[in-house]
Structures are given as structure tokens and as C-alpha cells.
Copies of this chain bind each other. A is one copy, B any other.
Amino acid sequence: MRSAREKDTLFEAIALMGKAFASPRRLELLDLLAQAPRNVDELARASGQSTANTSQHLQALHAAGMVTRTREGTSVRYALAGDQALRLWLALRDASVSQLAEVERAARDYLGDDVDAIGRDELLARLRKGDVVLIDVRPAEEYEAGHINGARSIPIDELEDRLAELPADHEVVAYCRGPFCAYAHDAVRQLQAAGRPARRLEEGWPEWRLAEKSTKRHRASRTTRRAT
């Protein structure tokens, strides 16, 4: 007979990764890392908690296999551990919205009234036609770490001062970190208040990147058949 202890060990090991998602602080860190790799200090400031605490949570995430760490001179850079980690976080986030009314309510409270949104397919079509301007309203470092092709960086803080840069005869589409990020919502409200047609992109940068990747893979698999 197989001992029960071995099975327990197995589930305990999986729970090691599960624990990563059990703390709101860690989720916030994951959410930030989904945008761009950062060092401890930046993460601490962005999430508004002490450096020591941030460091400890990052170590927990590291133990859970969700992030990688690399020393870079005097600082340590943490990054999400690959697409699988990102996918897992997004899956949890999305599942929580649809399964827990609590989450949806919290999201509404945080984001405020809903603003007009546009989906990926429609945006792609409009970009091809060239009759929209796409702006990335995240902080500049996140834009630099990766952004949608053709987007221009206008961090939300600077939007008010830089309205003139945007052509008045085009609709503006703003995107940010994802569905729970308020930047795009705020941007659209600001733009509309200034009398400009504007919508927000439903997806954020991480979702867009993954979608891009999977369509590429899909297209490739139509021509080349992969060997097992």
C-alpha cells in the first residue's frame, strides 16, 4: 500500500505555489511585475509598503516559483517567471471577477463609472485604417519595458498638459495595465471632458502581449506542423 504521506507531500508542494496568491500584497506585486520587471525599492514605492516587507513578499513569490531574481549591481531586479506565471495570475484575476460578486463590486468602486471601451479586433482594424490615435497612459518605464505596436506614451500625469499633441480630428484610444487599472478610465474621462472622442481599450498591455503571442503561434502552426 502506498503511504498517504507521499500524496500529502505532493499537495503540500503545490500549495507552496498556491500560497503566493493568498495575500493581497503579493497579488499587488504580481500585478506590478506583470507590467515590467523592477527592483525592490521601486516595487515598495509603487505598492506603498515598507522595503523590508516588500522584500519578504518577493521572497515568498520567489519560493513559489512565480518570479525570478537577478542581482544588478547594487540592486536586485525581480521579474515575473515567464508567461506561464503571467497566465496563471491573469487566470486567477479573471476567475475571481466572474465568480465573486465581491470582486466586481470592489472593481466598480475603484474604477468609477464605466467608460466606453473598444476590443482588440476592432482596434486592430481601426489602426490599420489609421483613423485612431492609441496612447499608453502608464508610467514611462512601463511603456519602455514593452507596449502595443503603434502606441504613443503619454503617462496619465502628463495627459492634461499634453492634450495639444493629440490630433483633434482622430478618436483617441487609451490603454493601461489591465481591466483593474484606473489610468485608462481616468484618461478617457479627461479627454471627453476636453471635448474629444475617446475610448479605453478593454485589454491592458499584458493581455495584449499574450494574445499577440498566441495568434502568432496559431498562424505558425497552420504552416508548419510541430513534431512530438
Contacts and interface: CB of A to CB of B under 8 A. Distances in A.
A25 B119 CA distance: 40
Nearest to A4: B48
Interface residues of A, number: 55
Contact of A11 (B12, B24, B65): B24
A197 interface: no
Interface in A143-182: 180, 182
Contact of A95 (B4, B17, B94): B17
B103 A84 contact: no
Interface string A16-43: 1111111111011001000000000000
> Could you say how many copies of this chain the assembly holds?
2
A59 to B, nearest CB: 15
Interface stretch (A106-114, A123-131, A188-196, A209-217): A106-114
Contacts of A110: 2, 6-7, 9-10
Interface stretch (A70-78, A85-93, A134-142): A85-93
A98 interface: yes
A106 B109 CA distance: 43
B21 A15 contact: yes
A100 B16 contact: yes
A21 B22 contact: yes
B99 A9 contact: no
B88 A10 contact: no
Contact of A15 (B9, B27, B48): B27
A18 B102 contact: no
Contacts of A8: 24
Contacts of A14: 21, 24, 27, 92-93, 96, 103
Interface of A: 2, 4, 6-25, 27-28, 31, 48, 64-66, 81, 84-85, 87-88, 91-96, 98-100, 102-103, 105-107, 109-110, 119, 121, 180, 182, 228
12 contacts: A2-B182, A7-B28, A8-B24, A9-B109, A12-B106, A14-B92, A17-B92, A18-B21, A18-B23, A22-B22, A65-B99, A88-B91
